[in-house]
Each structure stands twice: as structure tokens, then as C-alpha cells.
Amino acid sequence: MEHQKSYLAQKKQKKKSAVKVVWILFALAIVFIIIIAKFALSGDNDVNTLFASMPSSNEVYNIAKQFVMPTLKGNGANFPEDGYEYGKKADSIFVIRSIVNTQTSGGDPLKTNFEITLKYKGGSVSDESSWEVLNLNEN
């Protein structure tokens, strides 16, 4: 009889342990599903952006051109591909200095110097919504 009570006590303890493990696995599954759903609903289906490092100088320069373009006074903007200065101020804050050549409405060449400070918020590097313009100076 004593042996049977011991056996039942052990069985009850194992059942409690198994139930705890099932609840832990269930909780982990829910967390995993939430992460997958967030990734799927974010619209960014590029798996590389999940593990991407900070943007390169060329990537920062290319996004800087996209932000500078609408502010230009002339037409036919021409950005030199190698004529820019790149700096990193702090974590995710970048500075680009360069020139852009345009033409006035009369056809005269117009050279504009610019300096733009950008903050990378994460996400796809080529997406403007992943960036914030902190400062833009043109002269």
C-alpha cells in the first residue's frame, strides 16, 4: 500500500511538471507567432534587413540626394558620385557634405553646396521613411 501511494505521488508530481512545460512551450509559441506576425505586417519582407548593419557611406549619400532633390531651385540636378564628404556623428546619425549642379530656367549653370544631417531609424536603408532629416543647409 505504501508503495502504491509513493507511485501515485510521483505520478502526480510528473503530471505537474509536464503541465508546466506545456504552458512554457505554449507561451514561447505565442511570442514566436507575434514576432512573425509583426515581421509579416511590417511590409519589409527583406530578411537581410533583420540582420543588417549600419548603412554604408554610399547608401547614406544616395538617400541624402533623395532628400535634397525637392529643395533645389534649378532644374536637371547632377550630383557627383565621388565628390562628397561623409561623417558619422553618433549612433545612427550621419552627415553628408557635397555639391549639386543644376541649371536656372535661363539655362545658366548653378552650383549649390549642401550639408545634410540624417538619422537612420532602422528598416530598409533605401526607404525614405527609415530616415529623419535633422538638418539641411544649402548655399
3-state DSSP assignment of residue 137: strand
Mean pLDDT of 47-57: 68
At 93 the pLDDT is: 95
Enumerate the β-bridge partners of residue 111. Answer: 101
Question: Pairing mode, if any, of strands 93-103 and 84-90?
Answer: antiparallel
**pTM to 2 decimal places:** 0.63
Annotate 64-106 with DSSP letters as a single string. HHHHHGGG-SSEEEE--SS-EEEEEEETTEEEEEEEEEEE-TT
Q: What is the pLDDT of residues 124-133, one digit of tens each?
A: 898 999 999 9
What average pLDDT does range 81-102 have in this prediction?
Answer: 92
What integer pLDDT is reported at residue 8 of this predicted model? Answer: 81
How much is the mean pLDDT over the chain? 87
The per-residue pLDDT for 127 is 92
Helix (H, G, I), strand (E, B) or coil at 44: coil
- 9 Rama sector, left if φ>0, alpha if ψ -120 to 50, beta otherwise: alpha
Confidence of residue 20 (pLDDT cuts 50, 70, 90): very high
Comparing C-alpha atoms, which of 118, 76, 122, 124 is closest to residue 100?
Answer: 76
By the 8 A CB rule, do 138 and 113 touch? yes
CB 86 within 8 A of CB 94: yes
Q: Which of 48-52, 70-74, 83-87 has the lowest mean pLDDT?
A: 48-52
